Amino acid sequence: MKQMAPVPRQKPLLPELTPQAELALLCRLLYAEGYDDHIAGHISSKQADGSLLVNPWELAWDELGASDIVRVDQQGKVIEGHWNVTPAINLHLEIHALRPDVGVIIHNHSRFGTVWANAQRVPPVYDQTSAQVNGELLLFDEYNSAVNAASEGEKCARGLGQAKWALLANHGVLVVANDIRQAHLRALTLEWRCRQAWHVEALGGGRAIRDEVVEQFGGMVDGNGFPFLWEAMARKEIRRDPAVLE
């Protein structure tokens, strides 16, 4: 009997990453997608012990590395790290308290997401990539003050309900997810959707994908994850700047 050749062992798609390195990579990748309003914006990643890893207030998302990530307790007090935490940490604390299913929260003033938030309109879904995530894109249609105000943070948290994402009128975007990989997919899909819709409408408009098709396709992709997408984009950033892991 002819002996079969052994199946070659696949190489790991990514090196083993610490939670801090994952968060630093997420910040870098989303900056490249348009989440680049100077030093604005914050991401939290809930850990098994209940603490949160958060990007530092002082650094832009494209420059930080794993060692810059800050850890805070359930009251928002820094317990690990050399930087300060955003004054808007209350938004994260409120959402994490109300939504035990949420592992990652993203808030920023993304380039095209903020255009639609300022217009107080929800962008249609015009293409397949924009349909990678299903579910209603909420619009909070009033802006009273920054989300670091206790009343506004609580209002956003309660207004989000069980939704995955929202546009904050005259402000920016809010995305929640189970983990880093899902957060990456949802945040990049939101900005892609907003960008593509802006371009289509600049041409005079187009025919949006039917809601039931978006729901079916988005449920499949968002529910199962986009295979290899997070890994490919993370490898790209590591090649560009290996210091992100330090």
Is pLDDT at 22 greater than 70 in this prediction? yes
What CATH number does the domain containing 97 carry? 3.40.225.10
- pLDDT tens for 40-63 read 999 999 999 999 999 999 999 999
Q: Estimate to the nearest angstrom the gap between the alpha carbon of 52 and the chain centroid.
A: 15
- pLDDT tens for 124-154 read 999 999 999 999 999 998 666 566 666 677 8
Would you call 118 helix, strand, or coil by DSSP? helix
Domains contained in the chain, number? 1
Asked if the structure places residue 107 within a domain, the reply is: yes
- pLDDT tens for 152-208 read 778 888 899 999 999 999 999 999 999 999 999 999 999 999 999 999 999 999 999
Asked if the structure places residue 154 within a domain, the reply is: yes
Asked if the structure places residue 9 within a domain, the reply is: no
Give the angle 190-195-33 at the CA atoms, nearest 5°: 65
The CB density around residue 237, as the number of other CB atoms within 10 Å, is 20
- pLDDT tens for 65-105 read 999 999 999 999 999 999 999 999 999 999 999 999 999 99
CA–CA separation, 106 and 61 (whole Å) = 12
Asked if the structure places residue 212 within a domain, the reply is: yes
Asked if the structure places residue 13 within a domain, the reply is: no
Q: Which domain holds residue 61?
A: 19-241
Q: What is the DSSP letter of 86?
A: -
Asked if the structure places residue 227 within a domain, the reply is: yes
Is pLDDT at 2 greater than 60 in this prediction? no
Asked if the structure places residue 4 within a domain, the reply is: no
